[in-house]
Chains A and B, each alone.
Chain A
Amino acid sequence: MFALIKLIQSLFGALHSEGTPGQLAAGIVLGSFLGLTPLVNVHNAVIFAALVLLNVSFAGGMLGWAVFIPFGFLLDPLFDWIGHSLLLAPALRGVWTTFYNVPIMPLTNFNNTVVLGSFVFAVLFAVPLFFATRYGVARYRATIGERVRQSKWYRAVTASKVYNAYRMFRP
Chain B
Amino acid sequence: MTAPRPQAPAPSPRFKVFRWKAIGPLLVLLIIAAVLWWLFADTIARHETQKVGTQVIGAKVEIQDLHLDIPHGQVRIRGLTVASPHEALRNLLQADELVADVDMVPLTEKKLVINRIAANGLRFGTPRETDGRVAATSGEGIAGRVLAETREWASQFQVPALQLATGKISIDSLDPRRLSTIPAADALGARADSSRRAWQVALDTLRLGPTLDSARATLEKLRRARATDLSTLNEARQAIDRLKRARDRVTTLDRNVTQGVASLKSGLAGLDSARSRDYAFARSLLKLPMLDASGVGAAVFGPTSIKPFERVLYYMQLARRYMPPGLLPRAATGPTRLRRAGEDVRFPKERNLPAFLVRSAELSFLLRPNAEQPQRYGGRLTGLTSDPALYGRPTVATATGPQLGAGLMLNHVRNIPLDTAGATVGGIRFPAFEIPGVPLSLDPGAATTQLGFALNGDTIRARFAVRSTSVRWAKDSGFASSQIGDLVWRAVSGISNLDVEARISGALHHPDFAVRSNLDQAIAARLRAVLGEQVAAAEKQMRGRVDALVDEKVGPVRARVTEIQTQAEAQVAAQRARLDEVQKQLEQRLRELTRIRLP
Contacts and interface: CB of A to CB of B under 8 A. Distances in A.
Interface of A: 16-18, 20-22, 38, 40, 49, 52-55, 72-73, 76-77, 79-80, 83-84, 87-88, 93, 96-107, 109, 111-115, 117, 138-139, 141-142, 145-146, 149, 171
B25 A101 contact: no
Given A38-B337, A52-B26, A55-B15, A149 B3 contact: yes
A21 to B, nearest CB: 6
Contacts, number: 122
B340 A101 contact: no
A16 B3 contact: yes
B44 to A, nearest CB: 12
B329 A88 contact: yes
Contacts of A52: 19, 22, 25-26
B6 interface: yes
A146 B6 CA distance: 12
Q: Which 3 A-B pairs have the closest CB atoms?
A: A142-B6, A114-B342, A106-B110
Most chain A CB within 10 A, of B6, B111, B339, B342, is at B342
A98 B351 CA distance: 12
17 contacts: A17-B1, A52-B25, A53-B22, A54-B18, A54-B19, A73-B339, A88-B329, A88-B331, A96-B345, A105-B109, A106-B110, A112-B335, A112-B342, A117-B342, A138-B6, A142-B6, A146-B3
Contact of B346 (A79, A100, A145): A100
B341 interface: yes
A80 B331 contact: no
B23 interface: yes
Contacts of A84: 331, 342-343
A103 B340 CA distance: 26
Nearest to A169: B25
B1 A18 contact: yes
B334 interface: yes
Interface string B1-31: 1011111100100011111001101100000
B481 interface: no
Given A55-B18, A112-B334, A21 B342 contact: no
A118 to B, nearest CB: 9
A96 B329 contact: yes
B370 interface: no
Nearest to B106: A103
A113 B6 CA distance: 41
Interface residues of B, number: 39
Contacts of A54: 17-19
B108 interface: yes
B231 interface: no
B349 interface: yes
B4 A101 contact: no
Contacts of B337: 38, 40
A98 B6 CA distance: 47
A114 B337 CA distance: 11
Nearest to A171: B19
B349 A101 contact: yes
Most chain A CB within 10 A, of B18, B19, B23, B25, is at B19
B347 A111 contact: yes
B460 to A, nearest CB: 32
Contact of B349 (A55, A77, A97): A97
Interface in B98-135: 108-111
A112 B343 contact: yes
Nearest to A143: B6
B512 interface: no
A114 B17 contact: no
Nearest to A96: B347
A103 B109 contact: yes
A53 B19 contact: yes
Given A73-B339, A112-B345, 14 more contacts: A53-B18, A54-B18, A55-B18, A84-B342, A101-B352, A104-B109, A111-B344, A113-B343, A113-B344, A114-B339, A114-B342, A138-B6, A141-B3, A141-B4
A114 B331 CA distance: 13
Contacts of B334: 112-114
A87 to B, nearest CB: 5
A99 B346 CA distance: 11
B342 A113 contact: yes
